[in-house]
Structure 1
Amino acid sequence: MATLVSAAGAWVPSLWGDEAASQLSARRSLPSLFHMLQHVDAVHGTYYLFLHFWGKVFGYSAFSIRFPSALAIGASVALVVWMCARVSSVRIAVLAGISCAVLPRLMYAGGEARAFSFDAALATALCAIVIEIAVRPGRSRPLWAGYGVLLSIATYFFIYTGLMAIAIVAFLLLTPSLRHHWRRWLVASALALVAALPILVLAYLERAQIAYLQAGGYASWDVVLKQLWFGDTRFAWVGWTLMAAGAAGAVGTAWRLRGSLTRSTLDVRVLALCWLVLPMGLLLLANIFFALFTARYAAFAAPAAGILIATGIDTIAQLARGRARRHAWVATAICIILVLGVVAVAVPNWAAQRGPYSQNQSDWNEIAATVHAHSRVGDAIVFDADARPSRRTRLAYDTAPPGAFGPANDILVKTPFHNNYTWYASTYSVSQTAALGRFDSVSRVWAVEYSTPPGLTAPKAPDTYGLAALQLIGFHQAASYRLHASVVYLFIRNS
């Protein structure tokens, strides 16, 4: 169900800058990919390598490269259901599965061609291994070995997922029956850290890639309270209320069972709290001193939020059952009502995430459709190079399937993306291209400029990259098409 929820409509939105990096990196030859990773995006290299082989089989269309993310969310939800059923009940397991399947952060990750859904699945798998260690103490040694291997793999997918080791040791120390495992945790975690050293070193050397986070605003209260997991204000109110109820239930149970070393002290709510609070808390604290955080990085902790929402629903239902006494059906009715409420506030988020411009306001499909509809054989096309790399309109051309832009020919390209040291192509300016003689036989030129999407608080005029240069070499503007986040101009050579 979770896979279907995430995959449905994932073909609708245009790709955007980060997804372009995924697609263009995956489409490279392996030597080209490894060469690029020595300069940029090493922290995403494992995901790009996976996507390279996936695309060889299933192609590199928007839906094709997004579908593995939906599968990863399905795996994460399946693991959540599994481990909740192991230490709680099937009722809580099903509630947790539904909550995670419709949690906006996970739905978004499941519809985007980035590794964040894999991070959630790997973090959940680490927790599931620890739960198995708890319920099968006689087989802990191979399970701890598997934990160490998986922690190293998770760190290669996303280095922040390595913080799950801290969440897990906190859970061990807070669970009396598991405290004696801390030594095996230490050995397994240390070996995983050693195995992950190459990616940690490369991440440090390429840290300039996240310098844009220094602009601030990526860890505001609005981000923390709403955008990390919930998407909008309505879901945030519901989510935080139910999570608080789940946390309160965990505290109450811990108080009643204090001093007990029985299996009943295993509480998935305690694991979820450690998983949710500690990695995110450390990242947000570090972000005060070094800009290294944005909301999408929280995806690996999102399943914990789903678990707490589910246990909150159960806590409220059981309280109502206790008050109703003879009317056991009251708890079931309240569970159903609360689940339907969670799904109801999730639906607007899902719809917003599957709109045509939902991926960072990108309108690349619209650009391609406009040029395709109006272009002729012999037309040239130039793209805005003033926008930051992830917003450059050229990416619409490079990521589009063959023929999407009609006969229009890209004539500014200097080094194609697959031969460049970074993930995108390098280009000549309009003047340099004219000096190379590439405009000599061209009578019509399409110019695609980035423009601030509507609804933003600080709108700006569309970029004008190359327009003056086109006029200088003998072209004049004949038409313009205002799109969602771009403007497409047609220039015709003067008579």
Structure 2
Amino acid sequence: MWRDESVTYQVAHRSLGELWGLLGEIDAVHGLYYLLMHAVFAAWDGGLTALRLPSVLATALAAAGVGAIGTRLAGRRAGTLAGLVFAVLPLTQQYAQEGRSYALVTAGVTWATYFFLRATADSRARWWTAYVLTLHLASWLHEFAALVLLAHGLTLWRSRPERRDVRRWAGAAAGVGLGLLPLAVLSAGQAEAQLGWLGRPSAGAWLLFAGLSVVAVLLCRRLIRAGAPGAVPLTRLALPLLIAPAGLLMTLSLVKPWYVDRYVLYGMTGLALPAGAALSWAIGQRHRLAPAARALTACLAAGAAVAVLLPWSLLVRSPESRKDDVVAVARVVERQARPGDGVLFLPARRREWLLSSPGVYGRLDDLALAESPAASRTLQGTERDAAAIRRAVLAADRVIALTDPPGQPLDPFPQEDIKRRTLRTHFEVCERTRVQGAQIVVYARPGRCTP
């Protein structure tokens, strides 16, 4: 479990009153997801399995949606292969086994896209209703899901639709926007606290976005030239879905950083669709090869896929794929802690490392804590002023400090500075343990370190 999953875990275990109070201050964008997870844990408090099971099921549902879209546009085989491609993409696999909302958002957007196709082809009210309701639900799970409206608008424009369909889509988009307005207004007031940690997209992010876009464009171009079934409508849908939401968010992030790849994870549908159609077309050309050549080609393709995807699949299932590992941190603290020990979090937001392990956290005296997370309607609680923190630390004989690994920037706030200076001046290091993304340092008064 890493720090974002820990937030889900501890927030979802709060009472409904405490949860409602939190959403009025921060994290409203994840409010519906937290309520869903609160219901999951109320029904079955199954730890990490319960935390991640909704994401697993949502990814299966999203893969089925990709298959349904591909089947409608390019045939059953292309749809089946597109769903399989979607399922094995590294980004899909990463968020399929993570206790956050992004897999559920992807499932909602994917099925909204399917309903969009049905509505523009059929125009019966039930398809437009399904489109609005599904996209509305996805957007309340995370408001950036609404960016898919841009992709759908581009698809509709390129399809030369009847005016009736344009009017109905515009009405549906307006309905989604109006329904999302309360969340947008509330989360806008929380944006600085919510997204203040973000930087502008890195060169690596731009290169990845450009690389995936180029691959999708080349696949679509090849399908159109080959006259593959459904190549043109598939291209009109897939490329805007992959490029428009992510491209818009990355461009806006040059001015105001808002982009993280998981916020537009649903764009992977736009890569899986042409990849599945291309595989289907290639299989359809097998009659041109001799039997031995077919077998060799199939083996080479399978071997290449395994060679490329297996390392990624293994990586995203390891602690090393995340920024930190709060379970590992809690285990080290549990082993090192003694009755009466104080604990300090440097910086304060690292309190998250223990909040999802109340049995460990409850044994320690949180020296800097002024008000608990639930009482203060915050994610990690509020801390005392610098002078009060210094007095509390000086009154302790042993302190367990949970800090970032060496080389990370230090917070300049007075409370954080006084923690560091007091420990450095009045204590000595007894033990230092490093785990993924964190280090746990045991301090004691000079001469009092014991094995």
TM-score, length of structure 2 as denominator length: 0.86
Write out per-residue CA displacement over residues 419-453 of structure 1, whole angstroms, 9 at most, x where no aligned residue: 123211122368525646x875x54322222224x
Instruction: Indicate how the Cα distance of structure 1 residues 314 and 464 shifts in structure 2: closer, same or farther if over 3 A, else same.
Output: farther
- Which one-letter code corresponds to 1:444 in the other structure? R
CA contact (8 A) 2:343 2:365 kept: yes
* Partner of residue 413 from structure 1, selected from 365, 369, 389: 369
The whole-number CA distance in structure 2 between the counterparts of 1:180 and 1:152 is: 22
Task: Tell me the equivalent position of 2:186.
Answer: 202
The whole-number CA distance in structure 2 between the counterparts of 1:244 and 1:467 is: 53
Deviation at 1:337, TM superposition (A): 4.5
Deviation at 1:465, TM superposition (A): 6.4
Deviation at 1:142, TM superposition (A): 1.1
Instruction: Number of aligned residue pairs: give it.
Output: 443
Write out per-residue CA displacement over residues 242-270 of structure 1, whole angstroms, 9 at most, x where no aligned residue: 534421135437xx79xxxxx96873332
Write out per-residue CA displacement over residues 38-89 of structure 1, whole angstroms, 9 at most, x where no aligned residue: 2211111111111111122232733421221121111100111122223322
* Partner of residue 490 from structure 1, selected from 438, 442, 446: 442
The whole-number CA distance in structure 1 between the counterparts of 2:117 and 2:232 is: 9
Task: Tell me the equivalent position of 1:105.
Answer: 91
Task: Tell me the equivalent position of 1:352.
Answer: 315
CA contact (8 A) 2:62 2:108 kept: yes
Task: Tell me the equivalent position of 1:466.
Answer: 419
Give the unaligned 5+ runs of structure 1: 1-13, 230-235, 258-262, 453-457
Deviation at 1:492, TM superposition (A): 2.9
1:118 aligns with 2:104: yes
Deviation at 1:103, TM superposition (A): 0.7
More displaced stretch, 443-452 vs 324-333 = 324-333
Deviation at 1:404, TM superposition (A): 4.1
The whole-number CA distance in structure 2 between the counterparts of 1:144 and 1:444 is: 63
Instruction: Indicate how the Cα distance of structure 1 residues 36 and 460 shifts in structure 2: closer, same or farther if over 3 A, else same.
Output: closer
CA contact (8 A) 1:41 1:206 kept: yes
* Partner of residue 396 from structure 1, selected from 346, 353, 359: 353
Deviation at 1:383, TM superposition (A): 1.9
CA contact (8 A) 1:87 1:267 kept: yes
Task: Tell me the equivalent position of 1:93.
Answer: 79
Task: Tell me the equivalent position of 1:212.
Answer: 196
Q: Secondary structure at the match of 2:255?
A: coil
Deviation at 1:27, TM superposition (A): 2.0
* Partner of residue 374 from structure 1, selected from 319, 325, 336: 336
Task: Tell me the equivalent position of 1:272.
Answer: 238
The whole-number CA distance in structure 2 between the counterparts of 1:279 and 1:385 is: 34
The whole-number CA distance in structure 1 between the counterparts of 2:397 and 2:198 is: 44
TM-score, length of structure 1 as denominator length: 0.79
Give the unaligned 5+ runs of structure 2: none
Task: Tell me the equivalent position of 1:161.
Answer: 145
CA contact (8 A) 1:40 1:422 kept: yes
Deviation at 1:363, TM superposition (A): 3.4
1:249 aligns with 2:222: yes
The whole-number CA distance in structure 1 between the counterparts of 2:387 and 2:50 is: 38
Q: Secondary structure at the match of 2:320?
A: coil
Task: Tell me the equivalent position of 1:294.
Answer: 260
Q: Secondary structure at the match of 2:399?
A: strand
CA contact (8 A) 1:382 1:410 kept: yes
Q: Secondary structure at the match of 1:152?
A: helix
Deviation at 1:150, TM superposition (A): 1.8
Deviation at 1:485, TM superposition (A): 3.1
Instruction: Indicate how the Cα distance of structure 1 residues 62 and 203 shifts in structure 2: closer, same or farther if over 3 A, else same.
Output: same
The whole-number CA distance in structure 2 between the counterparts of 1:32 and 1:459 is: 33
CA contact (8 A) 2:145 2:264 kept: no
Instruction: Indicate how the Cα distance of structure 1 residues 115 and 478 shifts in structure 2: closer, same or farther if over 3 A, else same.
Output: same
The whole-number CA distance in structure 2 between the counterparts of 1:186 and 1:428 is: 51
Task: Tell me the equivalent position of 1:41.
Answer: 27
Task: Tell me the equivalent position of 1:55.
Answer: 41
CA contact (8 A) 2:5 2:99 kept: yes
CA contact (8 A) 1:482 1:488 kept: yes
1:223 aligns with 2:179: no
CA contact (8 A) 2:369 2:381 kept: yes
Q: Secondary structure at the match of 2:257?
A: coil
CA contact (8 A) 2:70 2:277 kept: no
CA contact (8 A) 2:319 2:436 kept: no
1:148 aligns with 2:132: yes
Instruction: Indicate how the Cα distance of structure 1 residues 329 and 206 shifts in structure 2: closer, same or farther if over 3 A, else same.
Output: farther
Q: Secondary structure at the match of 1:267?
A: helix
The whole-number CA distance in structure 1 between the counterparts of 2:420 and 2:197 is: 31
The whole-number CA distance in structure 2 between the counterparts of 1:302 and 1:248 is: 18
The alignment-based identity, stated in percent, is 22
The whole-number CA distance in structure 1 between the counterparts of 2:437 and 2:198 is: 24
More displaced stretch, 403-412 vs 277-286 = 403-412
